[in-house]
């Protein structure tokens, strides 16, 4: 088991241009991370329009798609508006307020 | 690019992309709609992936159209197996950048949905691969896998419609496979509306015999055969057997081919059969059907042409021996390669497999004359209607290649009481010759009678056929000029 407190979560968000859905997804995931993983995450936004070869390489068909890098987990597809699904998908333990 | 765009039955020229799949380009009158999307649907194991694979491989090999295969479904091994089953060197096509296989793992286990999405990732993937390869043909196999992974149906529906439109705008000829869903063609029932052509495949098992059927449900802007046609998956891919409606296009033969017996030629306007027509020789056992067939085959060899003799009863050596008793030596013809005898047991395989074998051998040997002796043995394999349907397809292919076909039919009763088989076959044939045996005291007399012969005058007399060590001959047929009936 990894130690939650010391490990930083690496996240990749795949988008196809800065669409409204892409912006929503980015805002939503940043909100979740700032709330529950402050200082323990990094988020890279990857625009497939700029790097089209990554669609095949990373097996992305739907956008936005959020991928947790270490350890790799399931892909989360959509604008990430349902934060419960995002959190359970990323295995983020909610911080008690 | 290979487009065929001026089929006679279309008022407007719709560009078509040939599939190269045996028979499929016939029932679609030239191929799939070029630059548009075709949906191929059917249940599991119906052959839709094989069809899609063959469409791409043949496109790359025969029509110089590079192809992109995107698989959402099968594991890599099974996919390679699907390609390899067609006997083509896939690795070579991939090396030469004529073919690209992309696997996209989409499974429900791997995806979580949170909010709305688009399929732009797939479009970027496709766009990138299409550009890289210069792809003219694209296959997506299967759409259901995408649906299964992304359950937000309303969202997905819009996106899939957008995908079809995108492919159309790209101008690639696309085949998308879909799983048949109960009574509906597809689970969501809208893909068929957004595609320009829909082909339905079906695989049934009846009486332990596997039967594959294909039907074109729709073809926007083009006429097409509406019939359900049988097809087979053989070692070189699909073979689709079109219905005889195409027969109407055949140009009637003008050249005449000898029956092999001078006296019989005399009964048929002194010239014999029409080239590219079908001849039926019917009669009871021992009336001389096979001898008449072999004589016809040898006449072709004498003209320096190739003849392919399918024997469904006797082996090649038995036929040789029988003919020897008539003073006819088949050995030189067999050695020269002009005569080929292939013996099949009708019970050995199903009707449709026979059909494929017959057509494949004909394709290989390229004869001008074909003999099928006797076709009635197939009735034990399938019903009369099914045998007729199979023969219709053989006739259709042979006629198109102007190959003259002679088939024999074994009958049980006398000439006046026709069996169901004969009545059924008679509508298919152009010339029908009936043989019979008559016993007068100790003597056995063989008789020959031309029942019909389309498009020519023929004698209506019954002649006696003599089988001696000097071959076949007729007596009592010498008629004066102008004595023919029509």
| pLDDT beyond 60 at B18 | yes
User: Across chain A, what does the average pLDDT equal?
Assistant: 88
Q: How far is A23 from chain B (nearest CA, A)?
A: 12
Write phi, then psi, for B299 (nearest 5 degrees): -60, -35
**Residue B87 to residues B57, B228, B333, B364, B402, Cα–Cα distance (Å):** 11, 27, 33, 17, 30
Q: Which residues of B touch A85 (CB under 8 A)?
A: 112-114
Token pair recorded at residue B96: 């030469």
Cα B111 from Cα B479, distance rounded (Å): 86
Q: Which helix (H) or strand (E) holds B396?
A: helix B384-400
| A74: chain B residues, CB-CB within 8 Å | 109-112
Nearest beta carbon to residue B114 from set A48, A63, A82: A82
CATH architecture of B248-475: 3-Layer(aba) Sandwich (3.40)
The three-class DSSP label of residue B276 is: coil
Average pLDDT of span B355-377: 88
Torsion of CA B405, B406, B412, B415, to 10 degrees: 110
**What is the ipTM for the molecules in this complex?**
0.91
Task: Tell me which CATH homologous superfamily contains domain B16-242.
Answer: P-loop containing nucleotide triphosphate hydrolases (3.40.50.300)
Q: Is the pLDDT of residue B11 over 50?
A: no
- Examine the pLDDT at A64 and tell me if it is beyond 80: yes
Q: Say yes or no to pLDDT of B255 above 50.
A: yes
If we measure between CA atoms, which residue out of A18, A2, A9 comes closest to residue A69? A9
Mean pLDDT within B264-280:
90
pLDDT score at A7? 74
> B153 pLDDT exceeds 90?
no
Structure tokens given for B82: 């699907």
Please, how many CA atoms are within 13 Å of residue A89, restricted to the half-sphere of its CB? Answer: 25
- Cβ contact B351:B316 at 8 Å: no
Task: Give A28's contacts in chain B (Cβ within 8 Å).
Answer: 115
- For the segment B136-143, the average pLDDT, to the nearest whole number, is 92
Whether residue B117 lies within 8 A of chain A, CB to CB, comes out as: yes
Please, which residues have CB within 8 angstroms of residue B14's CB and are 6 or more apart in sequence?
B5, B33, B221, B222
Task: Report pLDDT digits (tens) over B105-135.
Answer: 777 667 888 888 999 999 999 999 999 999 9
Helix, coil or strand: residue B293: helix
Q: Note whether B231 and B214 are within 8 A (CB).
A: yes
Query: Is the CB of residue A61 less than 8 Å from the CB of residue B106?
Result: yes
Q: Is residue B51 exposed (0-12), middle (13-18) or buried (19+ Cβ within 10 Å)? A: buried
Residue B186 has pLDDT above 70, yes or no: no
Q: Which residue of B115, B133, B153 is the best one to mutate when testing the A interface, meaning the one whose CB has the most A CBs within 10 A?
A: B115
pLDDT in tens, B49-92: 889 999 999 999 999 999 999 998 756 677 777 777 777 778 88
Q: How far apart are CA A56 and CA A75, in angstroms?
A: 15
Residue B117, min C-alpha distance to chain A (Å): 4
Three-state SS at B152 = coil
Q: Chain B: residue nearest A14 by CA?
A: B121
Query: Token match 């073809």: residue?
Result: B219
Please report the pLDDT score of residue B67 as a whole number: 96
Least confident of A33-47, B1-15, B227-241: B1-15
Question: Which of 144-163 (B) contact A at CB < 8 A?
Answer: 146, 150, 152
Judged against a pLDDT cut of 90, whether residue B345 lies above it is answered with no
Q: Tell me the backbone φ, ψ of residue A14, rounded to 5 degrees.
A: -95, 130
The burial class, CB within 10 Å (0-12 / 13-18 / 19+), for B236 is middle
Res B484: pLDDT:
43
- The answer to whether residues B422 and B276 touch, using CB atoms and an 8 Å cutoff, is no
Q: Give long-range contacts, CB 8 A cutoff, 24+ apart: A39-42.
A: A40/A4, A40/A5, A40/A7, A40/A8, A40/A9, A41/A8, A41/A9, A41/A10, A41/A11, A42/A8, A42/A9, A42/A10, A42/A11
Q: Is the pTM of this model over 0.80?
A: no
Burial of B209 (0-12, 13-18, 19+ CB in 10 A): middle
Best of A19, A61, A72 to mutate (most B CBs within 10 Å, chain B): A61
Contacts of B141 in chain A (CB under 8 A): none
Q: Give the class (CATH, top level) of A10-89.
A: alpha beta
Query: Could you give the CA distance from residue B460 to residue B212 in angstroms, rounded to a whole number?
Result: 44
User: Does the pLDDT at position B485 exceed 50?
Assistant: no
Angstrom distances, CA of residue B355 to CA of A8, B390, B482: 67, 7, 42
CB count, 10 Å around CB of B419? 17
Q: Give the start-to-end residue ranges of the domains of chain B.
A: 16-242, 248-475
Residue B371: predicted pLDDT: 96
Q: Give A5 to chain B, closest Cα distance, Å.
A: 25
8 A C-beta contact, residue B217 and residue B191: no
Q: What is the 3-state secondary structure (H, E, C) of B60-91?
A: HHHCCCCEEEEECCCCHHHHHHHHHCCCCCHH
User: Which pLDDT score is estimated for A72?
Assistant: 72
Chain mean pLDDT for chain B = 83
Q: Cα angle at B364 between B333 and B275, to 5 degrees? A: 65
pLDDT for the residue B480: 37
Write out pLDDT tens, residues B33-43.
Answer: 999 999 999 98
CA atoms lying within 13 Å on the CB side of residue B21: 30
Cα(B27)–Cα(B225) distance, integer angstroms: 5
- Facing A75 at nearest CB: one of B111, B118, B146: B111
pLDDT at B8: 44
Evaluate whether B16-242 and B248-475 have a shared fold.
yes
């Amino acid at each position: 088991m990894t130690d939650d407190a010391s490990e930083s979560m690496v996240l990749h968000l795949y988008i196809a241009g800065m669409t409204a859905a892409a912006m929503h997804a980015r805002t939503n995931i940043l909100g979740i991370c700032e709330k529950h993983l402050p200082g323990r995450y990094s988020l890279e936004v990857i625009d497939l329009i700029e790097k089209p070869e990554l669609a095949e390489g990373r097996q992305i068909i739907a956008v936005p798609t959020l991928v947790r890098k270490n350890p790799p987990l399931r892909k989360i597809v959509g604008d990430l508006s349902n934060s419960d699904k995002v959190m359970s998908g990323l295995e983020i333990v909610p911080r008690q307020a | 690019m290979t487009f065929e765009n001026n089929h006679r039955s279309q008022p407007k020229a719709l560009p078509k992309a040939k599939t190269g799949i045996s028979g499929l380009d016939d029932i679609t009158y030239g191929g799939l709609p070029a630059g548009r999307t075709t949906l191929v649907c059917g249940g599991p194991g119906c052959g839709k992936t094989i069809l899609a694979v063959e469409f791409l491989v043949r496109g790359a090999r025969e029509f110089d159209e590079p192809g992109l295969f995107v698989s959402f479904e099968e594991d890599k091994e099974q996919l390679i197996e699907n390609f390899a089953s067609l006997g083509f060197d896939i690795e070579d096509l991939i090396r030469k950048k004529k073919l690209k296989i992309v696997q996209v793992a989409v499974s429900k286990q791997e995806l979580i949905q949170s909010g709305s999405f688009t399929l732009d990732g797939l479009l970027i993937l496709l766009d990138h691969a299409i550009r890289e390869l210069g792809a003219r043909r694209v296959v997506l196999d299967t759409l259901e896998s995408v649906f299964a992974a992304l359950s937000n149906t309303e969202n997905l529906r819009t996106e899939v419609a957008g995908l079809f439109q995108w492919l159309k705008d790209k101008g690639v000829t696309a085949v998308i496979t879909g799983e048949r869903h109960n009574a509906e063609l597809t689970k969501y029932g809208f893909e068929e509306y957004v595609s320009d052509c829909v082909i339905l495949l079906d695989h049934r098992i009846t009486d332990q015999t596997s039967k594959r059927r294909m039907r074109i449900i729709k073809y926007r802007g083009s006429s097409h055969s509406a019939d359900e046609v049988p097809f087979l998956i053989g070692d070189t891919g699909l073979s689709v057997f079109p219905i005889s409606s195409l027969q109407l296009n055949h140009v009637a033969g003008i050249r005449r081919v000898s029956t092999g017996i001078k006296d019989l030629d005399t009964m048929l306007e002194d010239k014999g059969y029409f080239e590219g027509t079908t001849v039926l020789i019917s009669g009871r056992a021992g009336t001389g059907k096979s001898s008449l067939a072999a004589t016809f085959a040898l006449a072709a060899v004498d003209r320096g042409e190739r003849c392919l003799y399918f024997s469904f009863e006797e082996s090649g050596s038995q036929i040789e021996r029988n003919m020897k008793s008539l003073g006819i030596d088949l050995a030189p013809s067999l050695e020269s390669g002009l005569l080929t005898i292939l013996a099949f047991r009708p019970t050995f395989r199903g009707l449709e497999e026979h059909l494929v074998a017959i057509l494949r051998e004909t394709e290989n040997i390229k004869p001008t004359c074909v003999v099928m002796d006797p076709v009635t043995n197939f009735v034990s394999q399938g019903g009369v209607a099914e045998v007729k349907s199979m023969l219709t397809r053989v006739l259709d292919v042979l006629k198109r290649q102007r190959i003259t076909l002679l088939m024999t039919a074994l009958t049980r009763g006398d000439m006046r009481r026709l069996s169901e088989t004969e009545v059924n076959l008679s509508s298919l044939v152009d010339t029908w010759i009936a043989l019979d045996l008559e016993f007068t005291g100790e003597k056995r007399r063989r008789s020959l009678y031309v029942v019909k012969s389309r498009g020519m005058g023929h004698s209506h007399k019954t002649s006696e056929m003599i089988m001696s060590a000097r071959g076949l001959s007729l007596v009592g047929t010498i008629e004066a000029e102008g004595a023919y009936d029509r």
